[in-house]
Structure 1
Amino acid sequence: MALPFFKTAEIAPPADIEAASLRSDRFRLEREVDWQRLEGIVTALEKGRPRRISDDDLLDLPVLYRKTASSLAVARETSLDAATLDYLEALVRRAWFQIYGPRIGFIGWLRRFFVGGWSASVRAIWLDICIAFAVMVAGTAVGWLLVARDPDWFYSLVPGGMSGGRAPGAERAVLEESLRIADGSEGLTVFAASLFSNNTGVAIMAFALGFAFGIPTLLLLVYNMAVLGAMFWVFADAGLGLEFAAWLSIHGTTELGAILLAGAAGMHVGRTMAFPGERSILAAMQDAGVRAAQVMAGCTIMLVVAGLLEGYARQLVGDTGSRLLIGGFMLLFWLGYFLTVKQPRESET
């Protein structure tokens, strides 16, 4: 009588185990030189010592990575020993991060941003900056001319809470007093705070509205500068035009510069949408968006600097000449930075 057949777990004989071990050793020995070479390159990159890598090793890095990844796939398929699998998985992971992972951390990005990335993006939108500058000058002239022709336009352009009583017909002594340093931060503090808050919102809106082909951005710049032109006329009519310009220049050269760049960044995006050239709209928008976003990141820094200048320098410096000197220095500083600081070679593509 035949006994029933029961399927039981098969235990590999010692000969099979020895054959598998020999196969694993042979597999490792045939490829170990490439693995060690790749590990040496990756270790040097991880320690920030790329100069220790030879040109041949650097050129062969992608090839070595693919060979090691292939070895890992074979090792998994043939169930090689766990130690070899763990080693290959760790090595492939480290190599992938060095080849395809992020190139720089936040500190590295910040350094690259300040040593040329920001200025390069600003120079790349020079045409839009010229357009925005012309529009801002025109807006200032419009505000000046409207109020000069009919003072009632002042009340239509400048909100009552912003002017603080500095309106057409105000006495020279009152206007002059508002430009001085006063205890308790009086004078034009309300106007300055309102102007800074308004200009910060204008910078953000000027950039955001650029997606509507830049037209709302142009209108916003015209109106914002018309407010400044109207206020400028009030002081100039009282013979205090230079004093008001000096008072404004301390933080204005930085603050208005941020608005200029924000408006130009918005128009750059809108102009790219309207005229993508030979590229598709999506591809053109991607390039313009990255460039404009970098400009806007710098505008945020400029607005912070303007706020510090307004909160401290403007309150501590009362002399017209000193105010003009500070404002002029900040203007030259920004111009010098944007015109002279070149793009890092690593980021040229």
Structure 2
Amino acid sequence: MREVAFIKQNKEKWLEFEQAIFGKIQKNPDELASLYIHLVNDLAFAQTYYPRSKTVTYLNHIASLTYQQIYRTKREDTNRLKHFFITEVPLIVYSYRKYILYAFIFFIIFVATGTLSAANDADFVRLILGDEYVNMTLENIRKGNPVAVYKSGSNWGSAIGITLNNLKVGLMSFVLGFTGGIGTVWSLFQNSIMLGAFQYFFYEQKVFWASVRGIWIHGAMEIFAMVIEAGAGLILGASILFPKTYSRTESLKRGFKDGLKIVLATMPFTVAAGLLEGFVTRYSPDMPIVLNLVIILGTLSAISWYFLIYPFQVNKKIMGLHE
């Protein structure tokens, strides 16, 4: 069957799914489950015969939303918070995975730009980080503790202040998606350029490894969450620029709601990063190297698994329901 004929044959059924998902028509759980079975069958057919088609992307997204709708009503799913983190957010991340990929591509390019700029311009680091910070860090390096700045302030004071600031930055990156994503990209550019210049500065001073041992204890989750939040901002921007089959207003509502859920899912990691920065990073120079690596690799693995691997596992589980 040609794809055009396939779409024409099933278009009304798919529209019925959309109306049920967005509450425009009422369906009880059994009816919705029945519709869902038909939908995943259509998705399997499309994946087989039109694997690179936009039809597959569309059906996969609708299937994910329908799955959420069904399982939200199940009796055993009374814990809304558990459902949010275990099922809802991973499905949303999977549906918008290309925007998460775009955010990582931008991040890598911008960090490389900051690194190369610092390597080729002796004044670039001071321009980006400021003379006061550079001079203070040079003094700390001279004293043998490159990351001594993290010892300033009390444990709780530092943790709370840093966490609130990072939460604000993440939300701002998302909200800037209202600019069509331009503001989000600019925010990511600024932070990534700073990171590239920052790390090159320590490399140039021959204390790169010491900086990694300290900074990335909290930075693994903090930076990763920043990129995911930028991805959420790109989702919001795309919902305005590319409404697809929806009205622009409906597309914006969907983009805002889904993007915000992704940002909310980064917050536990951001809070954990703030606690690590306030309570653990300051002791990094005195830690055994093995403990440094366990914390850094452990935190990076946790957030990477949740946002990059687990969504595919959840989606695969859903797709297996119709087999």
Q: Does the pair score TM above 0.5?
A: yes
- 1:237 corresponding residue in structure 2: 204
Q: In terms of Rg, which structure is larger?
A: 1
CA-to-partner distance for each residue in 1:141-188, whole Å, 9 max, x for gaps?
Answer: 222222222221222211455556225xx68534x4133699xx249x
Which piece of structure 1 moves more, 272-281 or 213-222?
A: 272-281
Match of 1:342 among 306, 314, 317: 314
Contact 2:213 2:292 in 1 (8 A): yes
Partner SS for 1:342: helix
Distance verdict in 2 for CA 1:142–1:320, change over 3 Å: farther
- 2:251 corresponding residue in structure 1: 284
Residue identity opposite 1:132 in structure 2: A
CA distance in 1, matches of 2:159, 2:120: 26
CA distance in 2, matches of 1:160, 1:171: 14
For residues 120-139 of structure 1, the aligned pairs below 5 Å read 120-139=91-110
CA-to-partner distance for each residue in 1:20-60, whole Å, 9 max, x for gaps?
Answer: xxxxxxxxxxxxxxxxxxxxxxxxxxxxxxxxxxxxxx979
Distance verdict in 2 for CA 1:172–1:308, change over 3 Å: closer
Contact 1:246 1:321 in 2 (8 A): no
Equivalent pairs: percent with the same residue? Answer: 23
- 2:183 corresponding residue in structure 1: 216
CA distance in 1, matches of 2:30, 2:120: 72
- 1:98 corresponding residue in structure 2: none
Residue identity opposite 2:90 in structure 1: S
- 1:165 corresponding residue in structure 2: 136
CA-to-partner distance for each residue in 1:224-261, whole Å, 9 max, x for gaps?
Answer: 11112112111101222222122122111111121111
Residue identity opposite 2:96 in structure 1: I
Residue identity opposite 1:251 in structure 2: H
> Which TM-score applies when normalising by structure 2?
0.64
Which piece of structure 1 moves more, 203-212 or 131-140?
A: 131-140
- 1:112 corresponding residue in structure 2: 83
Contact 2:146 2:210 in 1 (8 A): no
Contact 1:255 1:306 in 2 (8 A): yes
CA distance in 2, matches of 1:219, 1:336: 27
CA distance in 2, matches of 1:181, 1:234: 15
Distance verdict in 2 for CA 1:280–1:246, change over 3 Å: same
Contact 1:209 1:266 in 2 (8 A): yes
Contact 2:158 2:278 in 1 (8 A): no
Contact 2:162 2:274 in 1 (8 A): no
- Give unmatched runs, 5+ long, in structure 1: 1-57, 61-101
C-alpha displacement of 1:209: 0.4
- 1:293 corresponding residue in structure 2: 260
CA distance in 1, matches of 2:194, 2:163: 13
Q: Which structure ranks higher in relative contact order (CA pairs < 8 Å, sequence separation ≥ 6)?
A: 2
- 1:332 corresponding residue in structure 2: 301
Contact 2:118 2:197 in 1 (8 A): yes
Partner SS for 1:239: coil
Contact 2:163 2:271 in 1 (8 A): no
Structure (1 or 2) with the greater helix fraction: 2
**How many correspondences in the alignment?**
242
Distance verdict in 2 for CA 1:201–1:154, change over 3 Å: farther
- 1:74 corresponding residue in structure 2: none
Distance verdict in 2 for CA 1:195–1:112, change over 3 Å: closer
> Is 1:148 the counterpart of 2:119 in the alignment?
yes
C-alpha displacement of 1:284: 1.7
- RMSD of equivalent CA atoms: 3.5
- 2:147 corresponding residue in structure 1: 179
C-alpha displacement of 1:271: 1.2
> Which TM-score applies when normalising by structure 1?
0.60
Contact 1:122 1:261 in 2 (8 A): no
For residues 1-349 of structure 1, the aligned pairs below 5 Å read 108-160=79-131, 162-163=133-134, 165-166=136-137, 172-174=141-143, 176-179=144-147, 185-186=151-152, 199-317=166-284, 318-338=287-307, 339-340=309-310, 342=314
CA distance in 2, matches of 1:321, 1:181: 23
- Give unmatched runs, 5+ long, in structure 2: 1-28, 32-71
Contact 1:261 1:296 in 2 (8 A): yes
Distance verdict in 2 for CA 1:203–1:113, change over 3 Å: same
